[in-house]
Amino acid sequence: MRALVTGAGGQIGQALVPTLLKKGYTVLATDIRPLDFPTETRLLDVTDTEALRTLLKAWKPDQVYHLAAYLSARSEKEPHGGWALNFSANWALFEAALESGVQKVFWASSIAAFGPHTPRSRTPQYTIMDPIGLYGIAKLATERLAEYFHQRYGLDVRSVRFPGVIGPGHLPQGGTTDFAVHMFYEARQKGAYTCYLAPHTRLPMLYIDDAIQAILQLMAAPAERLSVRSAYNIQGLSFSPAELEAEIRKQVPHFSCRYEPDFRQKLAESWPESLDDTPARQDWGWNPHYDTLPRLSQAMWEAILAKA
């Protein structure tokens, strides 16, 4: 099985590429920056439509894992670039995938596709979606576009709405949920952290191992079992910065956290606190392993110490 991964240098890509290789895939990893993987890598700007089409036609992947994106905070700072990467490049990819005979396409949606009128607790799969940030607007538009390409052209396109993804080794940049990774590292290195969200802002989160498992499970599911062609809700656990601070203090008793909310606070308040992921559980067996804060924290500390 030949797999093309875009945005392979990002948080999810750095974990996904080695996992695909272990499973026997032939992988071409791409990014706009040089990559260091034990497989073929290539520089690719996915907003360059001709370069994207040429690569797919030449390399002929069976599956594409499209992870290239500007995250929420960066999209607010660079709106035109964010739209080009988070929406226009997806449209170009779907067209190129059809032309090249790609069997399956995975792309990453986000809880940012929801908005202030969405029910915040156990957010349903189908509900009001009125995102206020450009990142979420692009994700919602791509969800509709993915449905269109599936219904109109038969493209086997699949997605999940990722909550905040937490994992070691890669410090994400430009996201609203980044605090959940940064707090661990700052606690260990400095014993203090300044958080850009208010202390009791609860958000859904997912450990990186569960994020990779979700992608692999969804891509392995028979097409006839899938009832959602926009993007599936998936829930791991939910917590606030204050709850994470208290959990980290169990390992770093002297740890202190200051709270100085910035423009990301408004985005976070418009997103769900938790998600109803019943369709994902029923359709393709979604069942996260890291579903409590103590379990996730233990995994993070073990991984951080192992890489030290």
Task: Report, as residue numbers or ranges, the catalytic residues.
Answer: 135
Map residue 173 onto helix, strand or coil. coil
Helices and strands, counts by H and E, the chain = 12, 12
Scanning the chain, the segments in alpha helix (DSSP H) are: 11-22, 49-59, 72-77, 79-83, 89-100, 134-153, 179-189, 208-220, 241-249, 264-269, 278-284, 293-307
Could you tell me which residues come within 8 angstroms of residue 68 by beta carbon, excluding any fewer than 6 positions away?
A: 6, 7, 10, 31, 32, 46, 85, 89
Q: Hunting for tokens 């994902």 — which residue is that?
A: 280
What is the Cα–Cα distance from 95 to 84, expressed in whole angstroms?
Answer: 15
User: Within a 10 A sphere around the Cβ of 223, how many other Cβ atoms?
Assistant: 12
What is the Cα–Cα distance from 294 to 44, expressed in whole angstroms?
Answer: 39
Phi then psi for residue 69, to 5 deg, are -165, 155
Please give the angle made by the CA atoms of 153, 136 and 64, to the nearest 5 degrees.
40
Map residue 28 onto helix, strand or coil. strand
DSSP 8-state secondary structure symbol assigned to residue 22: H
Buried b (16+ CB within 10 A) or exposed e, 167-188: bbebebebbbbbbbbbbbebbb
